[in-house]
Amino acid sequence: MTMQEKAADIMQILDELYPETPIPLSHQDPYTLLVAVLLSAQCTDERVNKVTPFLFAKADNPFDMAKLEVEQIKDIIRPCGLSPRKSQAISSLSQILVDKFEGRVPDNFEDLEALPGVGHKTASVVMSQAFGVPAFPVDTHIHRLAWRWGLSDGKNVEKTEADLKSIFPRDTWNKLHLQIIYFGRGYCPARGHNPSQCPICSKYGRAELFQ
């Protein structure tokens, strides 16, 4: 079986299990998505979704957010972890959006990744889900599953992203990365995983998983 044949079969399995892929982070527009994704670093989407209503009640746009004291932001987002760094990033990027972009989130990787606290993965999520630009955000979960399924060698997330982009059709990336996230949560968790009962690992899992 070729890699493309394996990829096609994996996509079919994911399409059957997750035909719809709602974005797991609650948001209203590109700005609130950007903030939510930033908050999700080393934090669950569920917890982020509990915190953002309180934050966005205070400020759901960069103009209002830039007026808040960093301490105010930090107190609200504390449950998400890394609150000193995240609150400073949210405050700083909001001011930059006001000063340089008339309050709009830029729709290109270069400007997004230049914002405080915004790395390539965060920018990829915003580009794909807010602007519909094909991207393949790779977090630790997708990185893990790509290795388990023999789609990448697992050296680093950059290599995994490149490998997945070379295997799967460009027009599937935006939906596929969400499908893999949902699949990982439902069938292929980091701990307590039984590969023989996993719809994909049972067919394509690396031999190391069954030892």
Instruction: Say if residue 103's pLDDT is above 90.
Output: yes
Whole-model pTM: value is 0.92
pLDDT at 97 over 90: yes
Considering 129, 157, 184, which residue would you say is the last residue of a domain?
Answer: 129
With bands split at pLDDT 50, 70 and 90, how would you rate the model's confidence at 104?
very high
Burial (CB < 10 A; 0-12, 13-18, 19+), residue 36, is buried
pLDDT-derived band at 187 (thresholds 50, 70, 90) equals very high
* Overall domain count for the chain: 2
Domain C-terminal end among 129, 147, 182: 129
Mean pLDDT of the chain: 96
DSSP 114: T
45 shares its domain with 90: yes
Residue 1 reports pLDDT greater than 90: no
Catalytic residues: 121, 139
| Contact call for residues 76 and 54 (beta carbons, < 8 A) | yes
Residue 73, both tokens: 């932001």
Angle, vertex CA 45, rays to CA 90 and CA 15, nearest 5: 125
Instruction: Please tell me whether residues 12 and 34 are part of one structural domain.
Output: no
Q: Are the C-beta atoms of 155 and 169 separated by less than 8 Å?
A: no
Q: Are residues 43 and 87 in the same domain?
A: yes
Residue after which a domain boundary falls, among 129, 156, 188: 129
The CATH number of whichever domain residue 185 belongs to comes to: 1.10.1670.10
Domain that holds residue 190: 3-21+136-210
* Rounded distance between C-alpha atoms, residue 80 and residue 86, angstroms: 9
Report the CATH number at residue 42.
1.10.340.30
Gap between the Cα atoms of 175 and 135, Å rounded? 10
For the segment 85-108, the average pLDDT, to the nearest whole number, is 98
40 with 82, same domain? yes
* Phi/psi at 10 (5° precision): -65, -40
Q: Which residue type is seen at 45?
A: D
Same domain, 124 and 36: yes
Residue of 108, 189, 172, 109 whose CA lies nearest to 136: 172
Regarding whether 123 and 64 lie in a shared domain, the answer is yes
Q: In whole angstroms, give the CA distance from residue 124 to residue 121.
A: 5
140, 124: one domain? no
